[in-house]
Every structure is written in structure tokens, then in C-alpha cells.
Structure 1
Amino acid sequence: MTTPPISELTTRAREVFRVVVEGYLGTGQPVGSRTISRLAGLSLSPASIRNVMQDLVELGLLESPHTSAGRVPTEQGLRLFVDGMMQATAPSAEEQAQIESRVRGPVEDALAAASATLSGLSACAGIVLVPAREPVLRQFAFVPLSPNQAIAVLVGADGTVENRVVDLPPGISPAALTEAANYINARLAGRTLREAEALLHSEIDRGQAALDAAAAELIGRGLARWSEDGASRPVLIVRGAANLIDPAAAADLERVRQLLDEIEGKAEIARLLDSARLGRGMKIFIGSENKLFSLSGSSVIAAPYRGGDGQVVGVVGVIGPTRLNYARVVPMVDFTAQALTRLMA
């Protein structure tokens, strides 16, 4: 069913719809016609309100839970409300001060603090997609496994050690493996993987690389593999997942379990957040709009933050139930993204 634009709803329908959505987001409970009829400014009888609500049900904007005579917004209804009716509320001075005071200092600490602060202020799970960082080479070695494979051992400048099994070029000798490792340690140490790749290709092109063809091919293949792995490896900080288990959610333990499983699948969430990074603007995913959260019925609000060159480097946001205070949380996420951008500048 195609959701109608807000302009196609009558004034009466818009007002009833707004009251139902705001009431549901505030309490988590279905909103009935009697509740709406008691509100000042709505000169409608309960019967008239019921008729309007039924029209909204037929439009796919409201639905009736089996256990209640009241109505709640559908995901399509929430999308219409967020895009066309929501009146955003800027973070209070106290909230802004709390975010600013936490998002400072070393970048790594500030990113973790941003996630934790958003979680505390929104009562959701705070999430930060961290800029991908390439290791800086300190030492490299090849350990032969067979005539066709070897273990490549990379030691980073920060002391991290990573191993990869690499396929060897046909006919490469043990001496060539040693030659390749010596070249990396002598010429490429102290550089990032991208810088090492660029220097290797430059020296090969100029005929300055003291390597035979097999060793040069092996080094190029290994560096490319590490660069690809590093670029695709998600670095995701999640804080406050316990906030998602509120009294309302606890009544549906299977939904809670599903949501926590989804949060544990950080690679999938990182790919979801990456769409916010690539889109370069605020993203709001409501429930099944994204297949990752189609079972748990959760929403994601995410905003990109930028580095000193103005380019998007990461994403900050929250994960929560579809029944969250969008008008309050959306500006809060945006303010946190701005604070991170100022820190990175």
C-alpha cells in the first residue's frame, strides 16, 4: 500500500493522526477515541473520532492491536509523521553541555564517550562507526606452509600482530620469501599499507626495486589483501544495549533476544550505518524499512561526522524501539555529530 502524502489528509484526519502518534510515542500504549475526545481543541465526538481513525486504518497509517480497542501508528504512519509532521526539539542547554563536555580529548576516548552519552540521554543503545584506520607497518615476515602457500605475519607500529595465509606465485623460492620480507622491513616500515603499496609500485615502475618479479608480485598481493581487509573491517562502538530491555520490551522476550542478536552482529550494523556515511546526511530507519531490523521492530537514527578536510569519516547514532521520541532524539544525534566534527577539525 502506498502511503499518502500528509497534504492529502484532511485537517481533521491530520489532527487525529498527530494525537494518536504523539500519545503512542509518549506512553507506548494504544490511543482510544475517548482519550482523543477529552483533549482541548478537538470538538469531535467519540463516534466521529472513531470514523476518522478507521479511515486512517484503511490508509495504512494506523492499526489496532488485538488486545486493545485503541490505535497505534504503523511503520508507514511513523514514517509519515517523522517526515511531514514532527516538530523537532533542540537539545536543552544541559544536554548540549553534557555532550560537549564528554566529546573531547583523544579521539578514541571521545568516540566511546559519544556513544555512552547518547545512550544515557536517549535511553537507547548508542552507536558510533569509527573511521577505518590502517595499521602502520613495523615488521613483516613470511613463514612457508607449502610450496603454494605461506603465512604472512604483519606487526604494526602499535604492537598488534596479524596473520594471513597467502597464495604464493608459481615457482617462488624460499630465498625470494626472505628477499620480499627484507625489502618490506627495509623500505616500507613506518608507512601505512596504502603508502607502502604506492611506494612499491613507484619503485617497480622506475626500476628501483631490488626484487625479482615473483617477490614483487607477492608483496603487492599481500599488501593489497591487507588493505582490502582493513577497509572492510567494521569498527563499531555500542554502549547501553541494556537500555533496550525496558518493561514494555520485556513482555516480548523473543523480540528483545532478536534485537540483541542483531546488535551483536556488528558487521551488519556497520554496513547499515555505512549508508548514512555514503548518503552524507541524517538517516532514520524505522522497523522493517531495513531488513536487518525487520524482526525486532527497531529504529535507527544516524548522522555522519566529518574530519578536518570536511569529508565524512564516521557515523554516530542510536538504536531503539520504533516507539522512541524522534522529535527529541533526532536533534540530539545531529548535535553529537556536530560535536564530533568540531573535535576532528
Structure 2
Amino acid sequence: MYNSKITGLGFYVPDNVVTNNDLSKIMDTNDEWIQERTGIKERRWIPKNSEDTSATMGAKAAKIAIERSGLTKDDIDFIVFATLSPDYYFPGCGVQIQAMLDMKTVGAIDIRNQCSGFIYALSTADQFIKTGMYKNILVIGAEYHSNGLDKTTRGRGVSVIFGDGAGACVLSRTEDNNKGILSSHLHSEGKYADKLIVKSPSIKHWVPEIIASTEEDTSYFPYMDGTFVFKNAVVRFSEVIMEGLKTNNLSPSDIDMLIPHQANLRISQFIQKKFQLKDEQVYNNIMNYGNTTAASIIIALTEAYEKGKIKDNDLVVLAAFGSGFTWGSVIIRW
């Protein structure tokens, strides 16, 4: 039976840094208010004159990951792209990557699971490799949030949180069942879909209707019931991490590195305290990049690895919770 392991990592974020003080100039907010509630100090937003998109950022991250894997684009058998902010309503970003990297006519799919998107994407790629169908899969998480945010005082509760960026990894086949992805665990609870949502445009409420509306229509801006999401997140994070550990006869003390989805620093700190983990056992970078949704875990994983915080044989746990609600975890022996 085959197993899969990460052989290459890469990430890309725009150069444009937007600080909390920058936001205070366009909405009624301040650095203290944002940091107290989210832990965020700054984020990256694509500037208006840039040609960057979710797909182009994903392609830039992918090139780095492929190079670091020691492979070439011609060795990639399949593409999995996770995003909530695709360049087009359709087609998805996966096929754009195939074209941008001038790859063979390999298959490509898009994962639309928002904050848990990369966990779902990695799990999907893992299954394709474990069944023997593919040998090397490119997995990407990328988001272009800034162009779709309500950057006014009305939308400050959401808009201060999100940033732009992309990360990628190459997942490759290995016959060593003691290394690589040990297990993945996925869940959903759709009855709370309206607690974190962008309602429009949709087939029920398409662009011409929005334009023709005589009343102010905010359905195309993200909505979040922050308190409700926070309460559910801390519960589901804990459950799915423990599920993964128990499946592999492990305990929280075995974790060498926990990389949670970077939604809110307070959530990460809550989980760290509950599992009695030291600072060096948890990696957070939300203070520098904000919440990059499907890109957050892979950006953080790449950065932690680049800094030497993940070593051979370490137990690495990835976990996410978000819109849907969906949540999941991946247990990796590095």
C-alpha cells in the first residue's frame, strides 16, 4: 500500500503591506481594537494596479514548491486547487494552473471548502496517491480577498481580518508507511451555513438583479456571526485534533508542531492552552498575514519549515474550521 508525503513547499504573498493603522484611515477602527479581537497587526492586500489573482499567486507558489521537490512540472500527475475566491465563477483555478505552468493535460479539480479548503484538498490528494492512481500531486491554496471586502465602518468586523496570499505543496508517493500523511479527518454541519457566508452572486440572486436593486444590497459582502463561529471553532478544533491523534494511538504530548488555520489568534491560543502545548509547538503567523482562508495553513506550514521549526520525524498536526461549517485535521509524520 502506498503512502503520501510532502516533498516540496512554497508560498507567495503580495508585497503590499496594509497595517491596522492604514485601515483606521478608511474606517472607524484602530490598532488596539483589531489586535485585541484577532491578534492581527497587518495583512497583505493586492494593490489595484497589480495583475495578481488567486490563480497567478497560486502559480507563483506552485513553481517554488515544484522546484523544492526536486521534480519538474512534467512529473506532476494531478492538480488540486482550494479557494473561495476564484478568478472566474467558472471555470475553476485548477485548469488555469495547468495552462500557466504549461503542464501536460493532467486532471485538475477545485475545492470550495473555504477555511478548511486546504485540509480537504490535501486529504483528497492523499487518497488519490494511496489508491495508486497518481504519483505526484500539486496541491494549492490561494485567496484574493481584498477586492471583495466591505472596506467601510459597516464592514470592519470582517474586512480587518482577511488577507491575500497563496501556498502550495507537492504531495508524492512513498512506500514508507511510517512517514507522510498518517490519516485525515473531515466533517461538516451545514445547518450553520448562514453564520459565515457570502450570499451573492448566486443563481438565485445574479449580478443584474444586484445592479438593478433600488435598495442597498450587501449580500455580496462576507457576513460572519463572529461570536457563534468562535464558540463552534474551539469545540470542533479540539474534537478533530483528538480524533486524528486517537486514530494513530497518539496523545497531545506527542505533537511536535500544530499548525491551525489562521482565523483568529485567540482561537489558536485557546487550543494551545487546552492541549498544554508550549509556544514552540504551535506556529501562528496571522499577525503578519491576516486570515488567508484556504491559503493560511499551507503558508504557515511553509514558513515554519523554512525557519527550521519542522524536522525529520516530527509529528505535525494540521487543523482547520470554517464556513459551512466544515472542519478537519491531517496527521503527518514528517
Instruction: Compute the TM-score of the two structures, normalised by the length of structure 1.
Output: 0.28
Instruction: Compute the TM-score of the two structures, normalised by the length of structure 2.
Output: 0.28
Bigger fraction of residues in helix? 1
Q: Which has the higher contact order (CA 8 A, sep 6+)?
A: 2
Bigger fraction of residues in strand? 2
Structure with larger Rg: 1
